[in-house]
Amino acid sequence: MNTKERIAKRLGDALAPESLDVIDESHLHKGHAGARPGGETHYRVRITTNAFRGKSRIDMHRAINALLADELAAGVHALAIEAKAPA
């Protein structure tokens, strides 16, 4: 399982999202800090889940960062987060 799949599984299992998109943007950061030749360093997460209903943006980001702490410690350099509750 690659990093993108592990991120999707961990968020999917923990938050039961209505929608989840994990995008590897590593190719956009070649030569920048934290980039590695093999990629898998820069990701964007777009998630919509009822688990975020009534939560602030900071609380949503903290929850995602906590769930992905192992991935962040293991080499994910950057994580852009677009999180919300369903309308």
* Burial class (CB within 10 angstroms; exposed 0-12, middle 13-18, buried 19+) of 1: exposed
Task: Provide mean pLDDT across the span 45-61.
Answer: 98
Number of domains in the chain: 1
CA dihedral 28, 62, 67, 30 (to 10 degrees): 10
What is the structure's pLDDT at 29? 56
CATH code (residue 55): 3.30.300.90
The pair of structure tokens assigned to 62 is 């903290």
Q: Residues 6-35: pLDDT tens digits? A: 999 999 999 999 999 999 998 675 666 655
Residue 27: give the domain boundaries: 3-84
Distance CA 85, CA 18 (A): 9
Residue 28: other Cβ atoms inside 10 A: 11
